[in-house]
């Protein structure tokens, strides 16, 4: 990990929620993931959204996708924060398995927030 981490999102929600609840917050529909009951923080949800889940954006009350698009971008930036700040061995696991990993960066962030 670099001496000073690269952080693009600094207001992480550390609440543990189930994926359907995160999907509601992100204004998306998870396809075939409604039965997932594990609790996760926003880092883990964002990683899984970008690498594991199939989803579609939901329109707001005016039929626009602006909010959902902004949240999708947020998830992309969180996943990027995870990967960019991972050590070489962590990147290997993230690349190979596409599975969420509590990296050293995330553990540090969770203690700082």
CA dihedral defined by 8, 13, 18, 23, rounded to 10 degrees? Answer: -60
**Whole-angstrom Cα distance, residue 20 to residue 89?**
31
**Whole-angstrom Cα distance, residue 52 to residue 65?**
22
For residue range 5-57, what is the model confidence (pLDDT) as tens digits? 888 898 999 899 999 999 999 999 998 766 778 999 999 999 999 999 999 99
For residue range 84-100, what is the model confidence (pLDDT) as tens digits? 999 999 999 998 887 89
Q: Taking residues 64-82, what's their average pLDDT?
A: 96
- 5 or 66, greater pLDDT: 66
- Residue 1 has a pLDDT of 47
Distances (CA, A) of 32 to 48, 99, 112: 13, 18, 34
At a CB cut-off of 8 Å and minimum separation 6, what does 9 contact?
A: 74, 77, 78, 81
Instruction: Find out whether 98 and 51 touch, Cβ atoms under 8 Å.
Output: yes
CA quadruple 103, 9, 73, 69: dihedral sign: positive
Q: Taking residues 65-71, what's their average pLDDT?
A: 97
Tell me the pLDDT of the chain averaged across its residues: 90
Position 113 pLDDT exceeds 70: no
């Amino acid at each position: 990990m670099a001496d000073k981490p690269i952080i693009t999102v600094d207001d992480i929600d550390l609440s543990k929620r189930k994926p359907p609840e995160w999907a509601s917050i992100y204004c998306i529909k998870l396809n075939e993931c409604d039965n997932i009951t594990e609790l996760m923080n926003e880092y883990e949800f964002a990683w899984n959204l970008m690498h594991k889940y199939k989803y579609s954006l939901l329109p707001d009350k005016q039929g626009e996708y602006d909010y959902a698009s902004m949240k999708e971008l947020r998830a992309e930036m969180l996943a990027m924060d995870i990967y960019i700040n991972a050590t070489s061995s962590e990147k290997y696991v993230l690349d190979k398995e596409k599975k969420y990993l509590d990296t050293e960066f995330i553990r540090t962030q969770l203690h700082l927030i």
